[in-house]
Structure 1
Amino acid sequence: MKQKKASRHADATPHAAALIEGLRDIGYSLETAISDIIDNSITAGARQIRIITETSVDEPFIAVVDDGSGMTEDELVAAMRPGSRNPLSPRDAPDLGRFGLGLKSASFSQCRRLTVVSRKVGKTSAAIWDLDDVAIRNEWMVQLPDDISGSPGIDELGNTGTLVLWQKLDRLTGGMSHNAVKRAEIINRRIAEAERHLRLVFHRFIETPKRLSIELNGRQLLPLDPFATSNPATISDPEEVLSLNGSEVKIKSFTLPHHRQMSTTDWEDIAGPEGHLKSQGFYLYRGERLILHGTWFGLCRQSELSKLSRVRIDIPNSMDADWKIDVKKSSAQLPPVVRDRLRNVIERIQNGSKRTYLKRGQKMVDNKRLPMWNRILADDKIHYKPNIDHPAFSAFADSLPPDLRRGFLNCIALVGASLPVEALHADMAGTPEQIVPDSVDEDTLDQAVKATLSVLLGANKDINEIMALMKDVDPFRSAWDGTQRIIAATIGSKEKK
């Protein structure tokens, strides 16, 4: 029997300078890079995390200080090693890590000098990766300085905990490294943009201050709950549990309130810079840490009528491979079995979102509520026409001679035919919350209220029912104080007679 020749081996150790520069371009943004550092702090049991920035000095820096368990020198050196953990290795439930690359790749994406100082059991250890030094030596050698007393942020470190310090912020200066004012302006703007991301990604941790507090330059960050669970008008479905490979996927659907049921500040806050249309969809959490949001995973399209729909999906860190969580912990893919279940969830919760909008619209066209406009569905097309039977129109038309009455009704029909459908569609697709009914003057309101009141009283409806009917439709709803005053004066004068 012929024996196989033994394989030869060749040294394939990567060049330190080349590979470590490559780690800079995995695709981190400032907000995802800071989030990765915070993940490590949470895994270390931190209860307080402080982000400190100094941008106006000659050598600007960003520091993240926590009060976690800290590391010994051996543990620190291991943590500074690229690929310090195998992603296939089991992790404790609170562990937010993934590949053992986060600390290094996140830091290198923003700076050329990473210093980590950690304090554990009364002993302080420090290690430094300086990419300029690696470029010269071309060796996988981390610096272990004896004296770190002058390091920015070192005074913020407590009895236990870790300081992560970024210096040589070449990726954040926007090419303005020689213009201190412009450089500070650019970095400060980027940090301000990152603030909302941190409030959102870690909102479930900081909703309970005793669990975790995150500060940015001395100011505590407030949680940003994308589901508005504290608003009583938010609709939430029961949680569903799906078993997958011995672990559980938890799914909970929410329908946000209509914008008229929230303050403008809260509405804009949960919408974010891209608006509610781009914020609808699935919100994937790994260990309560937000991984991905504002996507339907290709199962449906984002639409105006479904923009109030949001679905929270919770997975444990043991399912990283199933969901293909990436290094940055900012993207994922649906496992096939979950995809099938979510199709049903989408149909149900999108119907809920549509009802929230349509419910308000239907009040306008409900015959019991004296609509100013009629919604007509014919030949698969929807038309809106002014309701010529509305008391405000019919009472005035009846007071006119026949020739003038015909001209008046023609004018009303012309207004309906000139409805700017395209402009309304464009506005509703963009900023529907900015579309409001036009106001009417006192004389117009007086005429409309008295005409409507006369018809409703003639139909033997009591005053409470009349008030409820009129409060639901414009122009009365938008001028309710004036409407109430006119009703009271009209009723009072009738009673005196």
Structure 2
Amino acid sequence: MAVRKTIQVVPRARRTLTSLRNLGYDLRHAVADIVDNSVSADATDVHVTVHFDGARSWIRILDNGRGMNAETLTEAFRYGSERDYGRTELGRFGFGLKSASTSQCRRVTVVSRAETPAAELEARQLDLDHIDRVNDWQIFDLAPDELPEPARSLLDDASGTVVLWEGLDRLLQYQDPFGGWAKKQLISHAGDIDEHLGMVFHRFLAGEVANREPLRITVNGTSVEAWDPFCRTEPSAEALQEEDIEVSSSEGNGIVHLRPFVLPNQNHFSSQAAWKRASGPKSWNRQQGFYIYRADRLIQSGGWCRLRAVEEHVKLARVSLEFFPELDSAFGVNVAKASVTLPAELRKELSPLVKDWSRVADAAYRQKQRPPKPRPRRTRTTGVASTPSVPTARTPSSDHSHSLERDSSPKPATSPSTLVDHREVGTVSRVPGAAPQSARQALEAAAEQAGESQALSRIASALRTMSPETAHDLGW
């Protein structure tokens, strides 16, 4: 057979990098992706700093992990870099450091020292403005005296890594980047990062991951608290029958482990503060449903993955769904590790279980006597399974960096007469005596009254593309 002639076609750096900036990261997920690398490097301390200085504002992630030598650090800047990933590692695609960083900034500097005797400090920098000029895949090899000021003198003689984002063009899109509004927004972003990391890494923060010391994360010097979606410290929280379902994939078969919980009715929580904290970042209705973990790292928080609608009466149901990287292809994990798609064979098995869990949650919501728990089911098999091992955190140090403070002012408590939190999608708050109204109807009526019906139509169209499940829950 004749050998066919080949021609190498190298992607244009300028256009390709512009496209790769739009892989679906928001700031919270981008920071979490960098923290994934810290966790994979066995860091026990991760310090996130959000610093406001107008157009010169920056974000920095510092860890005390194993660090990288010169060769490893250079390879880390290659898109699609290849290396062997451990079964419990949080990385996978070889895109995270670059894509997460450039989704938020125009210049990313990484400084690292490997955990080997007499290791030198190594630094590399990816500058999008430089790549725009030369249209080539180039990074800078920085000497210690060339480091940006916020990345200097942080590692001393210890191992670890510093990731610095400058040129925050995606965050500081203001006419006056030095103004009060820009500063307020960056403070708000710091709070969002804190809340998100406390949820995504709650098992690591709480020391629940096997063979790891507890992880400590700070945001602007304040320790991030683990947020347990299942309120297991509440005496009235109920754990239902656990299930194992075997699922096949192109990379091998694996076990999906399910742990359903029904949270207490509001009147049975230990305190109103505990009830409010349990509502989570998206509030009660949007926090019901599946909490999907990949190697103990939370990927999806809430939602029923189109197996049922979000509903007020089942908002106390939350289900831990756990899998390991051998099932990544089956779940369609994206680069940002921000969403998954349930395999068709798993959806079929989950459908009757969701009905059982919903029935128990409905009874708890109505404060009736709960029906008998669902009968234990045998493990379902769809192929030969590989038993999942349990993943793997080390101890605190302090961050002496100076930065803006996060807004910690308390939010107003929900009125007792409010039946549904006003932030919950799919429902609207009701005052006693008012006629019930769907969220869609309320939005459409308000838009019509304000003369913005066409604008709402465009928003609905965009929502159907960006978040089909949310659009479906709203009736669009």
Counterparts in 2 of 1:188 and 1:118: CA distance versus 1, 3 Å: same
Structure 1 residue 153, shift from structure 2 partner: 3.6
Indicate which of 221, 224, 229 corresponds to 1:221: 224
Give the alignment partner of residue 276 of structure 1, picking from 281, 284, 290. Answer: 284
> Which residue is equivalent to 1:157?
155
**Residue by residue, what CA displacement relative to the aligned partner does 1:418-437 show, whole Å, maximum 9, x if unpaired?**
xxxxxxxx9535579x9999
* 1:194-247: CA deviation from partner (whole Å, max 9, x where unpaired): 221111011011012942000111111110111101111100023222222332
CA distance in 2 between partners of 1:154 and 1:93 (Å)? 34
C-alpha distance in structure 1 between counterparts of 2:176 and 2:125, whole Å? 22
CA distances 1:77-122 after superposition (whole Å, capped 9, x unpaired): 0011111137xxx631331012110110000010000000001123
- Retained in 1: the 8 A contact 2:238–2:261? yes
Q: Which amino acid aligns with 2:199?
A: L
Which letter does structure 1 place at the counterpart of 2:339? S
> 5+ unaligned residues in a row in structure 1: which ranges?
363-425, 438-497
Q: Give the distance between the partners of 1:153 and 1:181, measured in 2 at CA.
A: 26
Q: Look up the equivalent residue of 1:35 and give its one-letter code.
A: A
- Segments of 5+ residues of structure 2 without an aligned counterpart are 371-416, 433-476
* 1:73-222 alignment, distance < 5 Å: 73-85=70-82, 91-120=85-114, 121=116, 122-147=119-144, 148-158=146-156, 159-176=158-175, 178-208=177-207, 210-222=213-225
Cα deviation for residue 149 of structure 1 reads: 4.9
Number of the residue aligned with 1:320: 328
Residue range with higher mean Cα deviation, 147-156 or 341-350: 147-156
Structure 2 residue corresponding to 1:257, chosen from 245, 253, 264: 264
Match of 2:315 in 1: 307
1:31 paired to 2:28? yes
The aligned runs of 1:445-484 (5 Å cut-off) are none
Q: Distance in 1 between matches of 2:147 and 2:282?
A: 44
Distance 1:193 1:350 in 2: 30
SS in 2 for 1:21: helix
More helix by share: 1
Q: Which has the higher contact order (CA 8 A, sep 6+)?
A: 2
1:185 to partner: Cα distance: 2.0
Deviation at 1:139, TM superposition (A): 0.9
**Inter-partner Cα distance in structure 1 for 2:316 and 2:285:** 8
2:314 maps to a residue whose letter is S
Aligned to 1:346: 354
Pair 197,178 (structure 1): closer, same or farther in 2 beyond 3 Å: closer
**Distance in 1 between the 2:151 and 2:364 partners?**
50
**Conserved? CA contact 1:176–1:183, under 8 Å:** no
CA contact (8 A) 2:50 2:186 kept: no
Closer, same or farther in 2 for the Cα pair 1:25/1:58, shift >3 Å? closer
After superposition, the Cα gap between the structure-2 partners of 1:177 and 1:104, relative to the gap in structure 1 and judged at 3 Å, is: farther
- Measure the CA separation in 2 of the matches of 1:26 and 1:359: 45
Deviation at 1:282, TM superposition (A): 0.5
Deviation at 1:138, TM superposition (A): 0.8
Residues 150, 255 of structure 1: alpha-carbon distance in 2 compared, 3 angstrom cutoff: same
1:61 equivalent in alignment to 2:73: no
The equivalent of 1:386 in structure 2 is: none
Indicate the larger mover: 203-212 or 123-132.
203-212
TM-score w.r.t. structure 2 length?
A: 0.73
For residues 367 and 179 of structure 2, what CA distance do their matches in structure 1 show?
A: 55
Residue identity matched to 2:347: R
State the shift of 1:292 in Å: 0.8
CA separation of 1:149 and 1:173: change in aligned 2, threshold 3 A? closer
> Is the Cα–Cα contact under 8 Å of residues 265 and 367 in structure 2 kept in the other structure?
no
Residues 239 and 251 in structure 1, CA contact (< 8 A), matched pair in contact too: yes
Question: What secondary structure is seen at the aligned counterpart in 1 of 2:109?
Answer: strand
Alpha-carbon distance, 1:191 to partner: 1.9
CA displacement 1:374-418 (0-9 Å, x = unmatched): xxxxxxxxxxxxxxxxxxxxxxxxxxxxxxxxxxxxxxxxxxxxx
Q: In the TM superposition, what are the counterparts of 1:228-247 in structure 2 within 5 Å?
A: 228-245=231-248, 246-247=253-254
CA distance in 2, matches of 1:322, 1:227: 26
Moved more, 118-127 or 236-245: 236-245
Identity of aligned residues (%): 32
Q: Which moved more, 1:141-150 or 1:320-329?
A: 141-150
Closer/same/farther in 2, CA of residues 342 and 180 from structure 1, 3 Å limit: same
Aligned partners of 1:118 and 1:163 also within 8 Å? yes
**Cα gap change, 1:345 to 1:204, in 2 (>3 Å):** same
1:290 — aligned with what?
Answer: 298
> 2:167 corresponds to which letter in structure 1?
K
Q: Secondary structure at the match of 1:334?
A: coil
**RMSD over equivalenced CA pairs, Å:** 2.6
Looking at structure 1, the residues matched to 205 and 349 of structure 2 have their Cα atoms a distance apart, in angstroms, of 31
- Structure 1 segments, 4+ long, off by >4 Å, are 429-432, 434-437
Figure out how many residues of one structure are paired with residues of the other and give that number: 369
Check whether the contact 1:58–1:180 (CA below 8 A) recurs between aligned residues: no
Paired residues of 1:323 and 1:332 also in contact (CA < 8 A): yes
TM-score where L is the length of structure 1 = 0.70
Against the structure 1 CA distance between its residues 176 and 206, is the aligned structure 2 distance closer, same or farther, given a 3 Å change threshold?
farther
The Cα shift of 1:345 comes to: 1.8
CA distance in 1, matches of 2:302, 2:55: 39
1:330-345 to 2 correspondences below 5 Å: 330-345=338-353
Structure 1 residue identity aligned to 2:90: L
